[in-house]
Amino acid sequence: MDYRPLGRTGVQVSPLCLGTMMFGPWGNQDEADSIRIIHRALDAGINFVDTADVYSAGVSEEITGKALAGRRDDVFLATKFFMPMGDNPNHRGGSRRWIIQEVENSLRRLGTDWIDLYQVHRPDPHVDIEETLGALSDLVHQGKIRYIGSSSYSGSQIVEAQWTSRERNLERFITEQPPYSILVRGIEEDILPTTQRHGMGTLTYSPLSGGWLSGKWRKDAAASPTSAARPSARFDMNSPANQRKLDIVEELALLAEANDMTLIELAIAFVLNHPGVTAAIVGPRTMEQLESYMPAADIRLSTAVLDRIDQLVAPGVTLNPDDNSYGAHELLPAARRR
């Protein structure tokens, strides 16, 4: 597997990053099987693992920690904070108080002395970015985390964070983690050019667009997923946007078949073929799913294939706005009404 530089850090990571959201009650509840999947990924050359405190209320981190026992030095380990971890209103967000507290919880669950990449899961509109960066900088200086990153930040929020880091002499975000797939291309217009200008690594999630590009939902067998981790609006098959997505999936399946690929391989290879993408996060629930993802790391799409994809979904276009994970706060009625 060819490794890629993580921004300007000098760290080399695999183009596929193993996401662990589906290990635990949210997905695969067989701990031993989940550990086997993680080990298979490591044996295949994947050296990048991404998790979050909120995944299965911490169980995913615990499983990940057990799987990495004895192999920790060989893995670039990332986790995230921000989402609510219970009913306590102070057990969430980007405040100094919560960051200092929650990093200790993640370190304990992961069974490690350090986290390679500690990421803000979402921007916090109620906390000054200087406070968040200041707390994260202290953790870097203490050796508890190596690097810091953001997730689902808009272009302007990325720039503001970079400016604040320079202005206040704080650690800067070296990565951004946005959603990206053939059906969700909004980041091509602003996010990817911004991360490239600032020398950041870009770790895209949901390359299969929540299963839309796995072949699971087709026009002749469309059904909404049952996972509580998936917002229902994204899978309302009666919406015009999702009907359009079903049409496009049919065309993409034909394109993949004509080029001796599976739809899954086409979808992941598309993400990896963008020069601004460092790694695509894949989140298998089963060993079979993991095996179906891995060939994409070695596929280079032809210009003809990329042009056909552009005909189906124009660059920079997200077909269903519900698939975006940034801008939600700014577009709420309370933020727009006079």
> What are the residue numbers of the active site?
55
Rounded CA-CA distance 175/123 in Å is: 14
Q: Does residue 18 sit in helix, strand or coil?
A: strand
The Cα 140–Cα 156 span in angstroms is: 25
Which token pair is 51?
């998790």
Q: Residue 58's closest CA among 108, 115, 8? A: 108
Local structure of residue 124 (DSSP, 8 states): -
- Helix boundaries (H) for the chain: 31-43, 59-67, 96-110, 129-141, 155-168, 191-197, 240-258, 263-272, 287-293, 303-312, 333-336
How far is the C-alpha of 39 from the C-alpha of 17, rounded, in Å? Answer: 13
CA angle 335, 337, 338 (to 5 degrees): 115
Question: Mapped to the 3 state alphabet, what secondary structure does 172-215 carry?
Answer: CEEEEECECECCECHHHCCHHHHHHHCCCEEEEECCCHHHCCCC
